[in-house]
Chains A and B, each alone.
Chain A
Amino acid sequence: MGYAAARGGLTAIRNAEDLVRTLRDMDESEQIELDQFIGRLRLLVDRIMGEAGMWEPRLAALAIRQAEGDHIESVHLLRAYKSTLPRIASTEPIHVDDMRLLRRVVPAFREPGGPQILGRSTDYSARMLDPRSGSGATASLEPEVATHVADNSSSVQTNTPRLMNVLRDMDLLTDRRRTDDPEPFDITRTPARPPAPRSARLSSMARAETGALLNQWYRNILGPDGYLHEVTLGEVRHGELPIRIKHPYTNGSVSIGSLRVTEVEAIEDLNGVDEDRDRFDIGYGLCLGHNERKAIAMANLDIACHRDGSKSSLEQSILLTTDGLDSAGFLEHLKLPHYVTFRSMMERKIAVRNARPSVQKGDKA
């Protein structure tokens, strides 16, 4: 790899940028307001915040609008912006049990304890284009009451124990709980390289490009790698976590708001020779916003990495190849002038040819 910097053409570059701005901003249609992105394209906004590793829906919406909907470019804009900001503090450690649920399904158990809440989902619906979607014509302000309503209380969400704890109570789960509470690895300060602590893998996957993570999972299930096998999902949750900060004067806890996350537990059937075969183990996925594909892939890859124990290249693939900005940046740099690089390659070809006296120019021997 290598390319030489080029200079010149500044006016053309400025004009090209201006063309992007002008054609985008002077389009005959009405400008899309930021609230519209947040309210009507929430999954796109969520995905971009997750891959940027930054929670701020309005800035994410702004990035999408500026990038003309290019999601990697939007992530790039947000990461570039974030790099200009000082880091003021860390939140208190927020336990995921503090999540206020907006959705919960448990594919492994029909009656997991607590309700299964479909929430905002089209998982069980036929996919048909609807010309009226988004127009308000399809809105139902009074949805039909479900046949089986476990609890219609307006003040209590009802008991929602974690399936993991149900398995723990049945002594069916390998106990990997730690008591030493290691400091988390900060991938924004130090690049994570294998073998990395689990906190580095979880952070890396949480901000990985969704498609890249999905591909890692799929090529390990059906593709050539095969380092993991299909698991059963325990909890699939979407909900809100509080953002708690220590008050600088009192040291008490201040909740300055909340953010939404998707969380997944993947139950692994241990079957290795040196594994605890009469118990299960669990992989864990958590990412910003509502992005179930990403959290499911993450949970699968988390347990796969743990079982693999750095014997294969799986961890390396996750840490080094799933960041969307890294991969897209490398790919797109190929569009930049490579004149000197390519000229030197051509010169080498010609030199090789000239060094072979027996071969006439034009011969393919």
Chain B
Amino acid sequence: MPSNLLIDSDIPEIDSREGRSSLLAQANTDELTSLVDRLLEEAELSSQLRIVRSPHTGTVQFQVREPVCEERFYLADVVVTVAEVAIGNHLGWAMRVGTDRRAALAAAVADALFESGHKEACGSLQSLITVTRRELIDQRQSEWAQLNKTIIEFEELD
């Protein structure tokens, strides 16, 4: 079955680093930044935090493969903000669509916290990405509930 058919296709799983990065990229900005601020403060990790690459905005080229000749072409650029940090020896990376540097930095810190294995931080962040995943699915289901009512079957006239 082609992957575009399922409502939850391309909804990231939470048990891989890539899946976590995907969900951190799509997490609610305010919730992500306030949680990361709180975790750094409570776990007293701020002193270990190092900015490897400060958050900066740029573009990624969006390339698609079309179905007629199976050729690739560049459709457009997407504006993203990327950041890289380290907590101790644990590197964290994040890229988010848009220009919000604070959110990208928070996502990179969250990635590093996951990698550090800090128990309390991981638990809180796990809750955040679980909620994010649920919200993505809920949004698609609610969208589909509306679209489903516009399915049409035309009739041919004799």
What's the Cα separation between A50 and B156 when bound, in Å? 36
**Interface-forming stretch among B19-27, B31-39, B42-50?**
B19-27
In the complex, the chain A residue whose C-beta lies closest to that of B18 is: A252
With a cutoff of 8 Å between Cβ atoms, the chain B residues found around residue A94 in the complex are 62-65
B65 touches A186 (CB 8 A): no
B151 touches A102 (CB 8 A): no
Q: Does B146 lie at the interface of the complex (its beta carbon under 8 Å from any beta carbon of A)?
A: yes
B80 touches A203 (CB 8 A): no
What's the Cα separation between A111 and B79 when bound, in Å? 39
Shortest distance between the CB of B24 and any CB in chain A (Å)? 9
Known: A86-B58, A102-B143, A164-B67. A151 touches B148 (CB 8 A): yes
Most chain A beta carbons < 10 A, residue from B152, B153, B156: B152
Known: A158-B5, A159-B1. A59 touches B152 (CB 8 A): no
A125-162 with Cβ < 8 A to chain B: 143-146, 148-152, 154-162
What's the Cα separation between A116 and B155 when bound, in Å? 13
Q: Does A288 lie at the interface of the complex (its beta carbon under 8 Å from any beta carbon of B)?
A: yes
B63 touches A55 (CB 8 A): no
A249 touches B91 (CB 8 A): yes
Q: Does B10 lie at the interface of the complex (its beta carbon under 8 Å from any beta carbon of A)?
A: yes
A87 touches B77 (CB 8 A): yes
Known: A94-B65, A157-B144, A241-B64. A182 touches B10 (CB 8 A): no
What's the Cα separation between A265 and B58 when bound, in Å? 32
B65-81 with Cβ < 8 A to chain A: 65-80
- The total of Cβ contacts below 8 Å across the A-B interface reads 264
Q: Does A250 lie at the interface of the complex (its beta carbon under 8 Å from any beta carbon of B)?
A: yes
With a cutoff of 8 Å between Cβ atoms, the chain B residues found around residue A148 in the complex are 151-153
What's the Cα separation between A121 and B156 when bound, in Å? 21
A256 touches B61 (CB 8 A): no
A247 touches B76 (CB 8 A): no
B153 touches A97 (CB 8 A): no
| B22 partner, pick from A91, A150, A255, beta carbons under 8 A | A255
A91 touches B61 (CB 8 A): yes
Shortest distance between the CB of B66 and any CB in chain A (Å)? 5
With a cutoff of 8 Å between Cβ atoms, the chain B residues found around residue A214 in the complex are none
**Interface-forming stretch among A11-19, A67-75, A173-181, A316-324?**
A173-181
Interface residues in A, total, Cβ within 8 A: 99
A178 touches B150 (CB 8 A): no
B3 touches A199 (CB 8 A): no
A91 touches B153 (CB 8 A): no
Most chain A beta carbons < 10 A, residue from B5, B66, B82, B153: B66
With a cutoff of 8 Å between Cβ atoms, the chain A residues found around residue B21 in the complex are 247, 254, 256
A282 touches B68 (CB 8 A): yes
Q: Does A56 lie at the interface of the complex (its beta carbon under 8 Å from any beta carbon of B)?
A: yes
B91 touches A177 (CB 8 A): no
B6 touches A157 (CB 8 A): yes
Known: A59-B99, A116-B152, A254-B25. A286 touches B64 (CB 8 A): yes
| A117 partner, pick from B84, B93, B151, beta carbons under 8 A | B151
| Chain A positions 252 through 286: 1 when the CB is less than 8 Å from some CB of chain B, otherwise 0 | 11111111010001000000000000000011101
Shortest distance between the CB of B135 and any CB in chain A (Å)? 13
| Chain A positions 212 through 249: 1 when the CB is less than 8 Å from some CB of chain B, otherwise 0 | 00000000000000000000000000010111010111
What's the Cα separation between A247 and B4 when bound, in Å? 23
| B93 partner, pick from A86, A156, A248, A258, beta carbons under 8 A | A248
A255 touches B148 (CB 8 A): no
B152 touches A118 (CB 8 A): yes
In the complex, the chain A residue whose C-beta lies closest to that of B75 is: A206
| B61 partner, pick from A50, A87, A162, A287, beta carbons under 8 A | A87
Shortest distance between the CB of A227 and any CB in chain B (Å)? 19
What's the Cα separation between A138 and B69 when bound, in Å? 44
Q: Does B124 lie at the interface of the complex (its beta carbon under 8 Å from any beta carbon of A)?
A: no
With a cutoff of 8 Å between Cβ atoms, the chain A residues found around residue B25 in the complex are 254-257
What's the Cα separation between A226 and B31 when bound, in Å? 57
**9 closest A-B pairs by CB:** A199-B73, A252-B18, A148-B153, A56-B79, A88-B58, A256-B25, A118-B150, A90-B61, A86-B58
7 contacts between A and B (CB under 8 A): A88-B82, A94-B62, A102-B143, A116-B152, A154-B141, A160-B4, A199-B72
Q: Give A contacts to B, CB under 8 Å.
A: 49-50, 53-56, 58-59, 82, 85-103, 110-111, 115-119, 121, 143-146, 148-152, 154-162, 164, 176-179, 181-188, 198-200, 202-203, 206-207, 239, 241-243, 245, 247-250, 252-259, 261, 265, 282-284, 286-288
| 20 additional A-B residue pairs with CB within 8 Å, beyond A116-B153, A156-B5 | A55-B76, A82-B59, A86-B58, A87-B77, A88-B80, A99-B4, A116-B151, A144-B149, A149-B151, A154-B144, A155-B8, A159-B5, A184-B73, A185-B74, A198-B71, A202-B66, A203-B74, A248-B93, A255-B10, A265-B67
